[in-house]
A and B are shown apart, each in its own frame.
Chain A
């Protein structure tokens, strides 16, 4: 049985004059201990997906319909009390900016002990012991000292390590990481990612990694969802999506990377920009930017189909695949 099963999740935002749909009929599964990447550009709905899995969507947003079955319980229909016991405990979240998550007026130790004792019956001393063990797991040097320090006394990389230690504190089954290293430098980013990967593998924790960086997804995850304008347009094994993407948008995203073009040559760009949620085009949302679009694409929404080992939402996937085969032959 899968750990997480999302079915037809639709999230809407009540704006001034209209209601916009930020997530449209999202469905996916996550097995125990599986690592899933959600990629997309800003406005694709990837962060909202992360937030709604924790039922953290607040007004004017709301979960309009759909199920989020987490270990058998529907998160979308949980009471506030059930949500409180679930969050941080069975499902934890890591945000982009560590300073937002850490309370600046409490020491690291106070915050960790408080979190532990809110969920488990533990004495202060026991909680401190667990906290120190967790800090050691994320390779924080001299964790006893760090317990008495305030967040501002630590560097960005150290703070993000502490956030990871706090996320692991209650041995959750799933960690949702929303752009966890975007605010960090390249060398630190690689360290943190490696650490996250190692911890998820050794503790059999599921990971949902939300990012815009295809390189990170490629190295960290087993399966990938590609989102565009509030929908999943391609889903499948990360290797297959990176090596042989079926959807023109995924292809465009990968081909646009500078690594994919010889130095000094023009990059293969996707024209235009992601539509705003208030003006999603009819038919396939990608059709106005798609060089392969035909009339059919501009009028009817493509359904998700199984094709070449991945799930893809594109009318012309078969034709495009054959064209590519012909070209390479």
Chain B
């Protein structure tokens, strides 16, 4: 006696995902497809760096200072073994970029994971509980936002570097970077999540859960959070790009990854001294990789925002 509309047979889970609106709009958007392909190539290549790279830039034994500053193969005076040339220390640039991209991506993703954890927790609490706690947490976020990320990071990293000394700092630089970028940017998440929670909290399914006697943690985690994921996805992509840029900036300023374990930023920085002596490739090639990486992530973020926020289209 019930529905006549839903009596068609049910497609499998995979078929439903492939047929979903997100996948459809992805296939229809060439910019998103190209960005995704480029991002996947960069990501896979960097993850497989130890297998792909002809040299290990972390192994001092494989580096010969005599090989320094060979240009890329398409420039005169190149050495056949070094496709993209070598840097000032004689490291193969192609291998170093692969390893550097891997570091940049790891720092970016981990920093965003830290941001997301802090921001989502705080945003959920502020939005759901509200009142004094909300005011307190949000004022705290405002204060944090009024300092720029880089300023906080520079002060924090400069102090830690001075406290622990260069060697210890270099050893743990990656953790410091993740922590500082992660902590400095949680308010972005917290604000977005709080705004979504405030909107979701008014919906009747939340009232329904309260009438059924569920506790606040269950309601927050099991009911509100899964319905607040769209903006979290959107902000996450943008934040990964931002975190990679922050890391590169800090490394460029000498406060990030040490030259012995270069990320893209420290590679750009180390080549910067040689840019006027003719060895432009040490800075330029990792620079291009960095720009392309950040650009494709941002383009994917744009696409995702359009898909997950249909209101933008309807205007």
Contacts and interface: CB of A to CB of B under 8 A. Distances in A.
In the complex, A touching B (Cβ < 8 A): yes
Interface of A: 16, 271-273, 275-276, 279, 281, 288-289
A281 B24 contact: no
Contacts of B5: 273, 275-276, 279
A220 B3 CA distance: 33
B8 A273 contact: no
A58 to B, nearest CB: 12
18 contacts: A16-B24, A271-B1, A271-B2, A272-B1, A272-B2, A272-B3, A272-B4, A273-B3, A273-B4, A273-B5, A275-B4, A275-B5, A276-B5, A279-B5, A279-B8, A281-B4, A288-B4, A289-B4
Contacts of A289: 4
Contacts of B24: 16
Which 6 residue pairs across A and B have the least CB separation, nearest first?
Answer: A271-B1, A272-B4, A276-B5, A288-B4, A275-B5, A273-B3
A289 to B, nearest CB: 7
Nearest to B1: A271
A271 B2 CA distance: 7
Nearest to B21: A16
Contacts, number: 18
Interface string B1-15: 111110010000000
Interface in B230-244: none
Interface in B1-58: 1-5, 8, 24
Contacts of B8: 279
A61 to B, nearest CB: 14
Contacts of A272: 1-4
B196 to A, nearest CB: 25
A288 B4 CA distance: 8
A289 B8 CA distance: 17
Contacts of B1: 271-272
Nearest to B24: A16
A273 B5 CA distance: 8
A16 B8 CA distance: 19
A249 B2 CA distance: 17
A291 to B, nearest CB: 11
Contacts of A288: 4
A288 B2 CA distance: 11
A275 B4 CA distance: 7
B36 to A, nearest CB: 21
A111 B281 CA distance: 64
Nearest to A278: B5
Nearest to A272: B4
A281 B3 CA distance: 13
A16 B3 CA distance: 24
A101 B255 CA distance: 58
Given A271-B2, A273-B4, 8 more contacts: A16-B24, A272-B1, A272-B3, A273-B5, A275-B5, A279-B5, A288-B4, A289-B4
A271 B4 CA distance: 10
A271 B1 CA distance: 6
A276 B4 CA distance: 9
B11 to A, nearest CB: 13
Contacts of A281: 4
Nearest to B8: A279
A49 B152 CA distance: 61
Contacts of B2: 271-272
Contacts of B4: 272-273, 275, 281, 288-289
A288 to B, nearest CB: 5
Contacts of A279: 5, 8
B71 to A, nearest CB: 52
B98 to A, nearest CB: 40
Nearest to A289: B4
A271 B3 CA distance: 9
Interface in B152-191: none
A141 to B, nearest CB: 35
A288 B1 CA distance: 10
B211 to A, nearest CB: 27
A20 to B, nearest CB: 13
A279 B8 CA distance: 10
Nearest to A16: B24
Max chain A C-beta neighbours (<10 A), residue from B1, B3, B4, B24 = B4
Contacts of A275: 4-5
Nearest to A279: B5
Interface in B260-281: none
Contacts of B3: 272-273
A182 to B, nearest CB: 20
A268 to B, nearest CB: 14
A167 B58 CA distance: 78
Max chain A C-beta neighbours (<10 A), residue from B2, B5, B8, B24 = B5
B310 to A, nearest CB: 14
B2 to A, nearest CB: 7
A59 B2 CA distance: 33
Contacts of A273: 3-5
A103 to B, nearest CB: 15
A285 to B, nearest CB: 11
A272 B1 CA distance: 6
Contacts of A16: 24
A272 B4 CA distance: 6
Nearest to A43: B5
A17 to B, nearest CB: 9
A300 B176 CA distance: 74
Contacts of A271: 1-2
A59 to B, nearest CB: 12
A121 B48 CA distance: 75
A271 B8 CA distance: 18
A275 B7 CA distance: 11
B89 to A, nearest CB: 55
A174 B300 CA distance: 50
A289 B5 CA distance: 12
